[in-house]
Amino acid sequence: MDLIDRFRLDGKVVLITGASSGLGVGFARAAASVGASLVLAARREDRLDAVAAEIRDRGTKVLTHRTDVSAQEQCEEVAQAAAAEYGRIDVLVNNAGVGPSGSALREDPAVFRSTVDINLNGVYWMSRACVPHMPHGSSIVNVASVLGSVASRFPQAAYSASKAGVLGLTRDLAQQWSLRRGVRVNALCPGYFDSEITNGRGSDALRTLVSENSILERFGEQGELDTALLFLASPASSYMTGSSLVVDGGLSAIV
């Protein structure tokens, strides 16, 4: 296999959660651009259908499925639908997530539970549901966060705890499945990127924080994360498992 071909996903089936908005849309476009067929899962069907229609117009086969990853039975349903349509799942991108912020003493306990249910438990349920349909040589990419490893300057207990949990889960699933099943499991740890979550309320203060506390002094752009995702998803990273790839503009390098 030529070097550049190791980054391609021709003939592969890629399932992406949280694919109706934000980074998930970019991931779907990126996977399609290197030859993958797609399964796109998210809670908002109207937005999911719009993303799918755009990608189908470029000649890519796309299956959509309304999915709440915090519900185990819905994770099993989308995995079964993908297997019924394509016969297998080659890459799972556990991207679905929420990012609430607020003081730990004032945060609604229900918000904390919901965040963990989606960001951490959802990764577990989806991985469990998909791995029986994944052949040897497949890859799981868990989208964690740099805040799973370093402290946020803003109060984000639920988000930080859930993403730290994803890193631990990634290591353990890699240990269980890499040799036994031939399924590599790695984590992608973004810093701050332009997305719906980061462009909302408080975004000016957040941009100032990133500018003052990272080496590159700016937010990342979607394409700068897409390439990292394709690396972990493709044979280009065939000797990586149980690892965490940080893409944060040097935010975590500054103490």
Tell me which residues are annotated as active site: 159
Backbone dihedral angles phi then psi of residue 66, each to the nearest 5 degrees: -65, 125
Pairwise CA distance, residues 4 & 118, whole Å: 35
Neighbouring-strand partners of residue 138: 183
Q: What's the 3-state SS for the chain?
A: CCCHHHHCCCCCEEEEECCCCHHHHHHHHHHHHCCCEEEEEECCHHHHHHHHHHHHCCCCCEEEEECCCCCHHHHHHHHHHHHHHHCCCCEEEECCCCCCCECCCCCCHHHHHHHHHHHHHHHHHHHHHHHHHCCCCEEEEEECCHHHCCCCCCCEHHHHHHHHHHHHHHHHHHHHHCCCCCEEEEEEEECCECCCCCCCCCHHHHHHHHHHHCCCCCCECHHHHHHHHHHHHCHHHCCCCCCEEEECCCCCCCC
Inter-residue contact 89 to 83 (CB < 8 Å): yes
**Between the CA atoms of 184, 48, 97 and 187, what dihedral angle is there, to the nearest 10 degrees?**
20
